[in-house]
Structure formats: C-alpha cells, structure tokens
Amino acid sequence: MIDHLKAVLDAIDNNRDAALARLFEVLRIPSVSTDPAYKESCRATAEWCAATLREIGFEAGLRETSGNPIVVAHDGPADGAGKPHILFYGHYDVQPPDPLNLWTKPPFEPWLDFESGNGEVIVARGAEDSKGQFSTFLEALRAWKQVAGALPIRVTVLLEGEEESDSPSLPEFLVRHRSEITCDLAFICDVVQWDKDTPAITVRLRGIVGLEVILTGPSRDLHSGQYGGPALNPIRTLVHVLADLHDADGRVAVPGFYDGIEPPPPDQKKQWEALDFDTDAFLGDVGLAVPAGEKGYTALEQLWERPTCEFNGITGGYQGVGGKTIIPSRASAKISCRLVPGQNPEKILNSLRLFIESRVPQDCKVEFLNNDNTGLSGEDESCSFETKVKEASRKAFSIDPRSPYLKAAAAALEEEWGRPTVFMGSGGSIPIVSSLSRVLGMDCLPIGFGLDDDRIHSPNEKYNVKCFQKGARSWARIIGRLARPA
C-alpha cells in the first residue's frame, strides 16, 4: 500500500482557507434545536452536511425522525481486510445565542479574531460545539479522497440534530437504524483536549440520572399569622431533607450510593497526578477558592472519578417583588446525580427516592418526577431494545486501557502534537457514548480538539484556528494508522 499520509497532511495545510470558508458557511445557518422557530434552519443544516459529504464522495442522506433529521453517510472499501469500520459521531445543532447583547458581533456571522495566548480564533455560535469539531473530521476525509482517490478504511458518519435538546429522537433512531450504523469503532468529537498544545482522549465519562421531588403540605397557601406554628411548612421540610443528603465531609449519605464503584486503573491515576492540575486557577475562574466536594479527594479526582448529588433548582412560596407572608402549599427541588463506572442508575434513583420518603413527615405528601426522561425499567433481557438504549445512555463510561484502538489513536495524536496523549476523565456526560458501547457493542473513543475556554453555550463562543487545523491533521493521522495491517 502506498503511504499517502504526508501528501494528505500537505493537502490539509494547503486548503486551510477553503476549509475555513466551508466552516463559515455552515456556521451562518442558525440551527438552534431547542427553539421550534429554527426548525427549518436545522433541516437546512442537515441538508448542507449531507451535500458536503456527497461532494467528498460519500453516499449520504437524511434519516427522518420525530424531530430533526439525522445525517448518515457511508464510504470506503467494501472489503476491510482486517481494518476497522469506523463510525464518526457529531451534532449539527447549536445552543441558543442568548443573551445577544453580550456578543461582540452577531452570533451567526462568523469572524476571525485574535486573542492573546490563543492566537487566531473563529468566533460564532457553534464554532466549537460542534460544527467546528465535526468539520475537522470532514476536512481529513476530503484530503484523503483528494490525494488517494479513496479512503483506506470504511467510514460511516452520523450527525445528529438534537444533541443540545437532550436527543429525544436518538433512542428510536438507534432502534430503527441499528444495523446501518453498527461499526467496529466509534469516534465522538464532542470533547476537549488537555490544553492548546496537548492532545487527549477522554477515557472516562460520568453518567447521569435526575429527579424532581415535590412536597405538598397544606391544601392551599396559608396566612403565616393565622397558621404559623401548627401548620407544616413544606419548604422547611424540603431543606431539611436536602441537607441530609450529604454528610459533613461532603459524601452522599444515601445508602448504597457508592456501591460497585470501579476506580480508574493505577496507570491512569499516575498520569492524572502528573498533570499538575491547577485547582486555584480552575476555581478562581468562577470566583471560588476552595474545593467543596468530598474531603480527601483533589478537585480533579472529584471531577473525574467520584460521583455527585447536586441540587439544580429549588422553588416554593412567593417569588415576586417584596414580601408575602405565607406558608406555601408546595415546595420542590430538582436533583441530579453524576455517576461513575460501576454505579447502577436505577438503583441510585430508587435509593434516592427511599431516602427522601423516609424523611417526609405524616402531613407532607411527596411526589417524584424523572428529570432525565429515561423511563428506567430494569435490566432484564426481556425489556425492549429502546429501553436498553435509554438505560445505557445514563450509565458512566470507561475505556479498557488495553484497547488496541486506544493505543493506535494515542500514538497518532502524539505524532501530530509532539506530546504524549493525555488519557483524561470528564465530569460531564455524553449519553450516546454509553448507548453505542453498551447496547451496540462498539468500542468508543471520545476525541476532540476543543479547549475549556472556548465559551461553548456562552456569548462569543470560539474555536482556535490551530485546534481546527491540527484537529484535521490529527484525524488524517488516525485514519492512516487504523489502515495499517493488524
């Protein structure tokens, strides 16, 4: 086999301006999935993605869902000859741009800026999350086709249009198109690298479950002068219950919460310790100074290897201007738990409900609503494929450190960046990773070239041009390395 890699990398470098122009074109389409007013723009973006993939040489089209369409494309040799068939996942929808007054320029009119310490940056909604990210992969594919005339491995591309609105159509899509998208290996681009000069592979992702607890006391709001004292106040009950969820050391007090936790491999722990994570800078950026999680763990350990139970919102009583002296009828709180490998989402939710119920007094009614819409219903083999997808999507994810794909990708990244690849953890959750891994049986490697300071979901979102360019080169190297004989 002719080694085309050097020519492919040269093509990426020579086509930089054209690649940026293509990215700017798709950034101009306001594909906001959370707002129905942008539904046609989301479809237009999907059509742009499919047309771009066809231009590169893929067989590409839209797969209709109950929401926005999903783009699916295929190319590469039919006979893999021992080489993996890879799936690349990204999403074409973006977050709303609000508040508009905080943008330097209109959010859907991309521009190049210069930032001290970052160099040239692309600024627009979706510049990093994830139009810029998936474009790095498309540019690598384009260069391979331009130079070699064909891809050296089989590639399937899946671009979703509802990731920013919790992917409501994705479980059904995976059910209907399971055979079409099941590959040997999946790459997910919706992650960051360690810093602007150091590549990374995210080897651990936290899972997530959530619920809303609603406490009802009296049948109506009461005058606090007439009823204050003898009448149960659901806000007071709620805050006592919430306070009981953690002990004085920051540990979650729910029985069984930490059962089954699988610690990271020793080699990963050593690498994390050597990263010299700057806790002061991390917290200082958001006006804080002291880690508030479990005592005995560093801030990085709290983020990457420990579970959490957080309160995301609390309501009850009068919320208007001034005072209103009432004892409210209802109070509620939204709770989410970030889970780590080994924890069972359904058991966590059930234990959390029992813990709360045991602390609610006689005159207080308690109700629970699932915030995550998972419909968890057990893990027996008789449950539907769609139910299994929903269950798996909430579990934590970790990569087997012995994976040959992990080693190959890490080596390719090190070749491009000139630094060892960091095997990162992540405090966040990417539900599709666990679905692809646990339900479809695919190896998954989350690899991206974003940075923590890219301001995703915020005004003036940006993507470093260096990350965009070297991201495309990195994907080209990964494809080339996977094409080598096993």
| DSSP calls for 385-403 | HHHHHHHHTTS-EE--TT-
pLDDT one-digit tens code per residue, 318-342: 999 999 999 999 999 999 999 999 9
pLDDT one-digit tens code per residue, 143-190: 999 999 999 999 999 999 999 998 889 988 998 999 999 999 999 999
pLDDT one-digit tens code per residue, 213-260: 999 999 999 999 999 999 999 999 999 999 999 999 999 999 999 999
| Helix or strand run (H / E) with residue 142 | helix 131-148
Residue 388 has pLDDT above 50, yes or no: yes
Residue 265 has pLDDT above 60, yes or no: yes
**What angle separates helix 465-482 from helix 404-417, to the nearest 10 degrees?**
140
pLDDT one-digit tens code per residue, 270-314: 999 999 899 999 999 889 999 999 999 999 999 999 999 999 999
How much is the mean pLDDT over the chain? 93
d(CA 42, CA 463): 21
**Of 311, 393, 314, 384, nearest in space to 346 by CA:** 393
Q: Residue 382 corresponds to which tokens in the numbers above?
A: 């008789």
pTM of the model: 0.90
Question: 17 burial class (0-12, 13-18, 19+ CB within 10 angstroms)?
Answer: exposed
> Which amino acid is present at 7?
A
d(CA 356, CA 359): 5
Q: Once rounded to an integer, what is the mean pLDDT over residues 51-59?
A: 98
Q: Domains of the chain, with CATH numbers?
A: 5-205+396-482 (3.40.630.10), 207-370 (3.30.70.360)
Q: Residue 372: its pLDDT value, please?
A: 53
Residue 267: HSE in the Cβ half-sphere, 13 Å Cα cutoff? 6
Q: Residue 285: its pLDDT value, please?
A: 87
Residue 382 has pLDDT above 60, yes or no: no
d(CA 129, CA 136): 12
